[in-house]
Amino acid sequence: MADPTPSAGPGKNLKTARTILWFLVLLAAGVRLYALLNRDGQPSETATYADTVGGPFALTAPDGSTVTDRTLAGKPFALFFGFTRCPDVCPTTLARLAQLRKRMGEDGGKFAIVFVSVDPQFDTPEDIGPYVALFDTPIIGLTGTKEQIDAIVGAYHAFYEKVPTEGGGYTVDHTASVFLMDREGKLQSIIDHHESAETSLAKLERLVSA
Amino acid sequence: MFAFPRCPQRQPVATLVAAFALALPLAACGQAPDRAETAPAASRIAVSHGWSRETAPGQDAGGAFLTIVNEGTVPDRLLGGTAPAAQDVQIHTVDMTGGVMRMRQLAKGLEIPAGGTVTLAPGGNHIMLMGLKRPLAQGETVPLTLEFEKAGDIGVELTVQPIGAEGPEEEAHHG
């Protein structure tokens, strides 16, 4: 647009036009760089998101007692949504957490593992006790009424949905990430299903050392 | 392990000794194509490495994982199966898009390509034992019969592993 035309005049004019052109190019690059840096930084926005994850909830433990966010306060925890009839991703995730906890040695006892069933129609609190016991490490297994589960799933910006299957049954789609909550109940990090054990281990070490 | 005797025709010729040792079975295999010409196109399915994970009382479903090899020249299709321990046997797939676990039944079954190997493993396609009649206990073996479109029924034994197992031959964890 600011391209100088060769016919604009000899020598000096052309040189001025070139200088202006270079100035505009550098200005554009500067603006772009500034925008990029600003987007990469974004510390305030991430903190805001983390602050919105978690919060008050009330669910039922296998022994019938009520467990709330306040029951868990003071100790970091790793929270996972699932259901007992999920034979694949749920056991894999919980077993990996159990293994990582063992690898952490003493530090492994410094965080709680919380399993929240999102299948209140099938999973009773009593059913969840023997299920979490299979993993050979203390796991707090919880469920509740549909309203209670909707509340905690919403509070964690998670997702679950009952999906009918052939033959009148159903399965449950659900968020498969593990939420790592610090001792104040605030989101510190998330473990993705696909990430390596080493990455997850580093996140858990950070969780207990915070 | 395998549901039919395998001919070692795919193994590379290693040594003369081995070649002599294989001479008889190779000769037997050499006749197979002649027979196949007169018979309908044969599907040669072998199912191996069957395993499952222990389940808790009250847990209504279990997963079954295994390897299917089609050594035939025509594709086949896994349609379903039966197991004494379960009311229903289904083939499922898992989609993890967007960090959400979505399990779906493969109503039309699962194709086993000619000459192909299909592994059913956690996190991917797998067999679901629906409506478990009793919990699966670590260390036991559970029979499963798979139904194939062309190869018919093929049986496999599922070794029940610890709940955290991610493969068929995982050792029990010690301390």
Domain spans of chain A, in order of start: 6-41, 55-209
Same domain, B21 and B51: no
For residue B174, which of A155, A4, A102, A48 has the smallest C-alpha distance? A102
Q: Chain A residue closest to B87 (CA)?
A: A167
What pLDDT is stored for residue B11 in this prediction?
A: 45
Backbone angles phi, psi at B51, to 5 degrees: -155, 165
In chain B, how many domains are there? 2
* Cβ pair A194:B102 closer than 8 A: no
Categorise residue B98: left if φ over 0, alpha if ψ from -120 to 50, beta otherwise. left
Does residue B116 form part of some domain? yes
List residues bridging with A143 in a β-sheet: A60
Does residue B29 form part of some domain? yes
Same domain, B26 and B49: no
Same domain, B30 and B90: no
Regions of chain B with pLDDT less than 50: 1-39, 171-175
Same domain, B114 and B99: yes
Which of the four CATH numbers 3.90.470.10, 1.10.3720.10, 1.10.1740.10, 3.40.30.10 does domain A55-209 have? 3.40.30.10
Q: Where are the alpha helices (DSSP H) in chain A?
A: 12-41, 43-52, 69-72, 89-103, 125-133, 146-155, 197-209
Residue-range definition of the domain harbouring residue B128: 45-161
What pLDDT is stored for residue A25 in this prediction?
A: 73
- The alpha-carbon radius of gyration of chain A (Å, integer) is 26
According to DSSP, residue A109 is labeled G
Amino acid identity at B48: S
What pLDDT is stored for residue A17 in this prediction?
A: 77
What pLDDT is stored for residue A13 in this prediction?
A: 78
Q: Chain B residue closest to A92 (CA)?
A: B164
Alpha-carbon distance A71 to nearest alpha carbon in chain B (angstroms): 26
Question: d(Cα B64, Cα B119) in Å, to the nearest integer?
Answer: 11
What pLDDT is stored for residue A32 in this prediction?
A: 67
Residue A8 token pair: 């604009």
Does residue B151 form part of some domain? yes
B7 touches chain A (CB under 8 A): no
Does residue B106 form part of some domain? yes
Does residue B17 form part of some domain? yes
Same domain, B34 and B56: no
Same domain, B75 and B133: yes
- The alpha-carbon radius of gyration of chain B (Å, integer) is 19
What pLDDT is stored for residue A168 in this prediction?
A: 81
- The answer to whether residues B91 and B103 touch, using CB atoms and an 8 Å cutoff, is no
Regions of chain A with pLDDT less than 50: 1-9, 41
Does residue B96 form part of some domain? yes
ipTM field? 0.72
Does residue B143 form part of some domain? yes
The angle subtended at Cα A83 by Cα B142 and Cα B170, nearest 5°, is 40
Q: How far apart are the first and last CA of chain B?
A: 31
What pLDDT is stored for residue A36 in this prediction?
A: 57
Residue B144 burial (10 A CB sphere; 0-12, 13-18, 19+): buried
Q: Express each pLDDT in B36-86 by its tens digit.
A: 344 455 779 999 999 999 999 989 899 999 999 999 999 999 999 999 999
For residue A138, which of A81, A91, A98 has the smallest C-alpha distance? A98
Same domain, B31 and B52: no
Contacts of A177 in chain B (CB under 8 A): 99
Q: How far apart are the first and last CA of chain A?
A: 54
Q: Express each pLDDT in A164-182 by its tens digit.
A: 987 788 999 999 999 999 9
Alpha-carbon distance A60 to nearest alpha carbon in chain B (angstroms): 17
* Cβ pair A135:B63 closer than 8 A: no
Question: d(Cα B86, Cα B130) in Å, to the nearest integer?
Answer: 6
